[in-house]
Structure 1
């Protein structure tokens, strides 16, 4: 019973964080599965994490889409390009020794934490001042998507900590729209990684089910908590440059 409660509780934490900030929750999934839930093999924890995060991300994405936070063309293009990177990254990740992969994962978490502590400069740009679609914007978006997908697949994480700032950098969209749009890519990257790991039998299906069961109720709270309940529409999709 304790292991079931731990899996459900960890899933709730990941689901809430994903909905709130569009990233960060997924990077917690693998450590939680290894050190709290008790999965022993690193690759199984990564495969399980990827599938659970994918399902959680799509649940959060639905809530953001209903609130009008998603710039659809940006989300679709980013996910399509990044999925190629996720497939390549997960293939390399499976081939690497589990302990070495976990060590590199720890370094990534430290780097992400350091960037999160860095103060962010306020931006005065509004939707009317967003950049128009041009070749440079498309190239930046594609490059960021490929890198984010590769990192996501390699470590079995959603990659939202890369996708959200990447979308803001490439398109100039407001943060809330980047969060909502990123979740589609997080779900897609996770699904591609999970399918790759599932082919090698590296997913714990019962733990995945428990993780998802805990995450889905929390998934709907994340977007509401961000805006202050209830969820409201923010930026009209007609300003999307994608």
Structure 2
């Protein structure tokens, strides 16, 4: 339950981070032996928690619905394709690639931590192609790594539209929900979802998400703080996953 609270809190705080934390928590803390089961189960739990956090951010006016909708629709097909490929890939190597991708995204977010963004951004002919391309790519990576994809979606939305970080966090949760459900259903077809464990994570996440959304609104008032928190969370978790995955692969030899 505590792990679920932490996942829900990070989803509400930075839009991403739910699956970033859910997968390693299930593998290294809860003790789920099969990485694919951890991926499928976390995708379901994060999707449900993301939907709840989306409602929290929507009440605060932090969601750009049109931009988020285009991004999410473009990513669903990519998520299905990516998750089909991910199921056929070695679990430990999948976790290691996941960690390396997290580090790259963290560096990119730090570079843009001082950007203010355009709070009046809306869907247009100029940003629609970028949203479609970014959504498709984020969806494919999200499905391949079995994640909700928030840590990919947030920078994708910022790059495509120049929306402020707080709006990207809130808007990303629509796509996190869509990508997560697509991935979870694909994994469930192969029996790779632990429904009881998912329920525990969902219960804890509902509680943690309320506090995460409040803190995100507070931190957004301080220039660059929310971006820095987002990147720091990614770096710490990625380094931990790299060490654990490397030891697991070495031990299997």
Same fold (TM over 0.5): yes
Query: CA RMSD for the aligned pairs?
Result: 1.9
Deviation at 1:52, TM superposition (A): 0.6
Q: Does 1:122 align with 2:110?
A: no
* Aligned 8 A contact 2:70 2:128 in 1: no
Deviation at 1:121, TM superposition (A): 5.2
Deviations 1:96-148 (A, max 9, x none): 122322232232233344445x34353355435x47712x4211111110111
Corresponding position of 1:218: 208
Corresponding position of 1:71: 64
**Corresponding pairs, count:** 219
Corresponding position of 1:200: 190
Give, in whole Å, the separation in 2 of the partners of 1:15 and 1:180.
14
Deviation at 1:50, TM superposition (A): 0.5
Deviation at 1:89, TM superposition (A): 0.3
Q: Does 1:150 align with 2:140?
A: yes
TM-score normalised over the length of structure 2: 0.81
Corresponding position of 1:93: 86
Deviation at 1:202, TM superposition (A): 0.3
Distance 1:208 1:125, change over 3 A: closer
Q: Does 1:137 align with 2:127?
A: yes
TM-score normalised over the length of structure 1: 0.84
Structure 1 gap ranges (5+): 1-7, 230-242
Structure 2 gap ranges (5+): 220-253
Distance 1:124 1:90, change over 3 A: closer
Deviations 1:11-30 (A, max 9, x none): 11111011001112321111
